[in-house]
Amino acid sequence: MTETASHASRADMVDICRRMNSSGINQGTAGNLSLRTGDTFLITPSSLAYDKMEPEDIVEMDFDGTYEGRRRPSSEWRFHRDILAARKDINVVLHCHSIYATTLAVHHKTIPSFHYMTGVAGGTTIRCAKYATFGTQALSDYALEALEGRLACLLGQHGQISLGADLEKALWLGIEVETISRLYVQALTLGEPPILSDEEMARVLKQMDQMSYGQAPDLEGVNDTARPRQAADA
């Protein structure tokens, strides 16, 4: 990575961090963010408020746990490193203590497919990882387990993790997980909600996959009347 590209990536990370706060999914010095940069990764520093963070404060780490920079890396660097090492399909790890996701996490509740948007995390559920002390290898191991085949998980009595191919996608997913969590908490006040079947969620996931490639969903006639005007007039 060139020095210019490195500075741009660091500046983009600071921007995303500040948007984490402005969106309401993060507060104070809680939460952290990492970005793959080839053979290394960038990660936010420990105990520094986002509104005071500058690009130069972002820490560069090797996958052996060594780092370079004027600040110490986040205390959660282990799960950032391990997730990036294990998941070649993603480049960003976003962690925050968003209120409703954390509300569910303190009860170790997995989010079921009570709403089809649960599928944005890549499966029929958003799992909750077992509890372990923050910053430990045990927490990293539990997070990896909960993220198997998923793009997001809750961390028992802790918060949430959302993954992305880039910074924007990770932030979008973090906000979506918080929204889904809020809906679930509110739905639970009326009792356990009905759950969509695995068969229906398979259809949902297929349509979401199509949309991620820029195609409108077309299962079972959903898209029969939504055609480009030129094709419709032909």
In a domain, 32, yes or no: yes
Q: What is the pLDDT of residue 214?
A: 45
Residue 41 lies in a domain: yes
Residue 60 lies in a domain: yes
Q: Of the residues 76, 148, 192, 220, which is catalytic?
A: 76
- In the residue annotation, 3 being an active-site residue is answered as no
- pLDDT, tens digit, for every residue of 72-96? 999 999 999 999 999 999 999 999 9
- Residue 87 in any domain: the answer is yes
Determine the straight-line distance between the first and last CA of the chain, rounded to whole angstroms: 49
Query: Which CATH number fits the domain that encloses residue 69?
Result: 3.40.225.10
- Domain encompassing residue 107: 3-213
Q: How far apart are CA 219 and CA 36, in angstroms?
A: 35
CA-to-CA separations, 32 to 18, 57, 76, 97, 200, in angstroms, rounded: 11, 13, 8, 10, 35
CA nearest to 19, candidates 151, 166, 165, 167: 167
pTM of the model: 0.90
User: In this structure, is residue 111 part of a structural domain?
Assistant: yes
Answer yes or no: is 232 within a domain.
Answer: no
Model confidence pLDDT, tens digit, residues 148-197? 999 999 999 999 999 999 999 999 999 999 999 999 999 999 999 999 99
As given in the structure block, the two tokens for residue 29 are 């010095």
| Alpha carbons within 13 A on the beta-carbon side of 177 | 41
Domain count for the chain, please give it.
1
Is 75 within the bounds of a domain? yes
Domain contains 223: no
